[in-house]
Structure 1
Amino acid sequence: MGGHNLKTVFVFELTRTLRKRGFWVATLAVPVVIGLIFALSFVSGSSISDSEDAQADAEISFAYTDASGLIPAEAAQAFGGREAADPEAAVDAVRSGELDAYFAYPANPAEEPVEVSGADRGLFDNGAYEAVAEALLRTSAQAAIGDPGLAAAAAGEVAVEATIYRDGDVTGGFTETIGPLALLVVFFLVIVMLSNQMLNSTLEEKENRVTEMILTTVNPTTLVVGKILAVFAVGAVQILVSLAPAVAGYVFFRDRLAIPDLDLSDLRLDPWAMVVGVLLLVGGFVLFTGVLVAIGAIMPTAKDAGVIFGPLIFSMFIPFYAISLIISDPGALIVGVFTYFPLTAPVTAMLRNAFGTLEPVTAGIVIAELFVLGIVVLRVAVQLFRYGSIAYTDKLNPKAVLARKKAAGRS
């Protein structure tokens, strides 16, 4: 008897799920989206390797001083360089943007680094300066192999210390990405940790069939906003509790656990990038919260909502399938699509913001899009929650609810 009941339940649940159109939409969405991503990537025709090859052939104008006496004037001219009479004047020209770069070759390249000063060309294109400086030294050394300094230069055993200027100030290079990328991590933690709670908070009373009674005393907008704030506070507590052991271990048991000291002296935070990152984080949270509230208002149970919840969370990870293009070729078609499509916009824009490829105009458009669309979706979700509170067993029809609301407003 028990085996028969098990088979009956199994067949019933399986066939009921397979007959749902939403199940197949959600199941096929992932491979279809991945296929479109790779197709758009192929059409864009760009890759990181293309950028690396371009750096090796980069044409830049530079001045140089050569304390080693290894650089022939003819070789420097072939690379687009000229000897500088005054090193400080050359650095000032780089600061003002009149000169692309200045190379200071030391007396002994085998033991001392080549100092490179360059005008900012973008985080990844800045590597062209080091590539040209090393290529010039290597070419010169190969013409006169004989002493250890020349041999080291020809073998590429040369250290290079680069200083990159943007608008007259020294940039932090990769250290500038740490702050904005940390905001991206916070965004993922907030959405992943809180989204399920937000969804369940709007469905719990509906499944317990007490929503109608609650709404007789509480305004639906107040109820939804209160739920959002409460869930956000719970998430903050969760994050603090999760970080507490790590902080306590570092402060009180660093020596015993052999934890290395954190040197934050080289960490540089770009105020503009941090402000944009915070706005993208908050705007993305508002948008995803509105969508989750709408799902909870439409669906009668958490099981039904899970069909949409999975693809919604997956949408945050879609940009990572094209991360090479997001970093190396922000002008690619697929990057533009991901930057402005609402569900992929927060992650894509935060990645571009971290790596310095998000223009101020684009940042403003994406931030406005997230906040405006998020608020609109949240307002619609409140109306759906109001009329869907008594739809305990049936999925709510959003068109019917909005049409009813519009008709009520006219009357």
Structure 2
Amino acid sequence: MARHNLGVVIGFEFTRTVKKRRFWATTLAIPAVLAVVFLLIFVSNSTTSVNEGAQRNAKITFTYTDSSGLIPASTAALFGGQLATDPGTALNDVRSGRSEAYFAYPADLSRDPIKVYGADKGIFENGKYDAVARRLLTTAAEQKIGSTQLTAAVSGTVKIETTTFKDGQLAGGVGAVVPPLLFLLIFYVSIILLSNQMLNSTLEEKENRVTEMILTTLDPTTLIIGKVIAVFMVGLVQLLVFMTPFGIGYVFFREQLSLPSFDLAHLTFEPGPMITGALLLVGGFTVFTGTLVAIGAVMPTAKEAGAVFGSIIALIFVPLYTVSLIVSDPHALIVQVFTYFPLSAPVTALLRNGFGTLNPVESVAVIVELFAVGFLTLRLAVHLFRYGSIEYSRKLSIRGTFGR
């Protein structure tokens, strides 16, 4: 009977949520906004690319002075430049409109800036002066060096490939870090999407004054577990809807949207970190689910629960403020505190797991702790709901419930 009731609760809670127009309006609003943003970025990048190309290949007439002696007159002429004999006269010609631009190259380019003067043609189009001045200097330097290899070395455009080894085996590098960190992304997305529903899962019936009728036919444990599973299923639907625009944009419009390119073949799925990440995700999700459901059972209204809810959610973002310390010095005291404090442990442990600083002993300890605390918080939530579901006008006394 309890198993049958669990299926009824899950089906009822899931269908009740997904049938609401407000749910789909909220769920589809973000993809719609993302689609508009992607369209604007696409149009903007297309226009910017055309304008940048026009600036790089812009043909202007200008005068210049060269105290460095690096720029040959013949090279400057190809860019539309003419050597000026007097800097003051050249500057006055630009000011009066008789000349389009004037470039003043200093004697020491490593210390002093190149001064560019030009006729104002708008914020963006004015960038062509800087582009031409740089291109002229780069071309002159390449001609003077006379070697493409030396030019690449000096300009810093050489490519470097780094290979590292761990325990005598080829290390995965960034490709081994990304997959375990995906569990951290899933954790954040799931908590952000589902936390409010977790909190309201027990508050809604309480505010509607129907919990007495529900508890006459359902065991509180069955009800709570059914609500948690239903909320998780709703979150999967939302996650799928939210991620669809990102998937379409990355697969079909990556270049147009200027999205970073990453070769998926370079990803390394190491069994240890992946299993650890999955267990940390499930354990952390259980802890926060039990905590939020318990808050909903104690508080009489959503308004009063909101204050406590904000403080709990804030705890999952606290470790991000020390992410550099977590990566560089994982054995620092504050990092160890964050690693084992139940509400900050999921994020901290997932970060350390991704970057390879969570050793097997610590992994087992944190996973066991999260599952134990998660189980206890869910049991506590059931106990509090049993007695707090009919406390409509005041906050439930936790001490009083244990006294019963």
**How many residues of Structure 1 are paired with residues of Structure 2 in the alignment?**
258
1:296 maps to a residue whose letter is G
Q: Secondary structure at the match of 2:265?
A: coil
Residue equivalent to 1:350: 350
Matches within 5 A, 1:124-203: 160-203=160-203
**Larger Cα Rg: Structure 1 or Structure 2?**
2
Question: For the residues of structure 1 that align with 2:393 and 2:211, how far apart are their CA atoms?
Answer: 13
Q: 1:196 to 1:263 in 2, by over 3 A?
A: same
Q: CA offsets, 1:116-139, max 9 Å, x none? A: xxxxxxxxxxxxxxxxxxxxxxxx
Q: 1:250 to 1:347 in 2, by over 3 A?
A: closer
Displacement of 1:263 in angstroms is 2.3
Residue equivalent to 1:325: 325
Question: For the residues of structure 2 that align with 1:388 and 1:307, how far apart are their CA atoms?
Answer: 18
Question: For the residues of structure 2 that align with 1:258 and 1:177, how far apart are their CA atoms?
Answer: 23
Residue equivalent to 2:58: none
Question: For the residues of structure 1 that align with 2:370 and 2:260, how far apart are their CA atoms?
Answer: 40
Residue equivalent to 2:392: 392
Corresponding position: 1:367 with 2:367: yes
In structure 1, stretches of 5+ residues that fail to align are: 1-146, 405-411
Q: Secondary structure at the match of 1:325?
A: helix
Question: For the residues of structure 2 that align with 1:367 and 1:338, how far apart are their CA atoms?
Answer: 14
Question: For the residues of structure 2 that align with 1:249 and 1:335, how far apart are their CA atoms?
Answer: 37
Residue equivalent to 2:341: 341
Residue equivalent to 2:226: 226
Corresponding position: 1:215 with 2:215: yes
Matches within 5 A, 1:5-404: 160-250=160-250, 263-404=263-404
Q: 1:310 to 1:261 in 2, by over 3 A?
A: closer
Q: Secondary structure at the match of 1:309?
A: helix
Q: Secondary structure at the match of 2:165?
A: strand
Q: 1:148 to 1:216 in 2, by over 3 A?
A: closer
Q: 1:383 to 1:265 in 2, by over 3 A?
A: same
Q: CA offsets, 1:293-352, max 9 Å, x none? A: 110110000001011000100000000111111010111111011101111000000000
Residue equivalent to 1:46: none
Displacement of 1:192 in angstroms is 0.9
Displacement of 1:244 in angstroms is 2.0
Q: 1:322 to 1:251 in 2, by over 3 A?
A: closer
Displacement of 1:355 in angstroms is 0.6
Residue equivalent to 1:62: none
Q: 1:258 to 1:314 in 2, by over 3 A?
A: closer
Q: CA offsets, 1:8-40, max 9 Å, x none? A: xxxxxxxxxxxxxxxxxxxxxxxxxxxxxxxxx
Question: For the residues of structure 1 that align with 2:182 and 2:189, how far apart are their CA atoms?
Answer: 11
Q: Percent of pairs identical after alignment?
A: 59
Displacement of 1:180 in angstroms is 1.4
Displacement of 1:149 in angstroms is 8.1
Displacement of 1:249 in angstroms is 4.6
Question: For the residues of structure 2 that align with 1:369 and 1:316, how far apart are their CA atoms?
Answer: 17
Q: Secondary structure at the match of 1:218?
A: coil
Q: CA offsets, 1:247-282, max 9 Å, x none? A: 345556678878787521211122111111110000
Q: CA offsets, 1:228-254, max 9 Å, x none? A: 000000000001111223334555667
Give the CA RMSD over aligned residues: 2.6
Q: Secondary structure at the match of 2:356?
A: coil
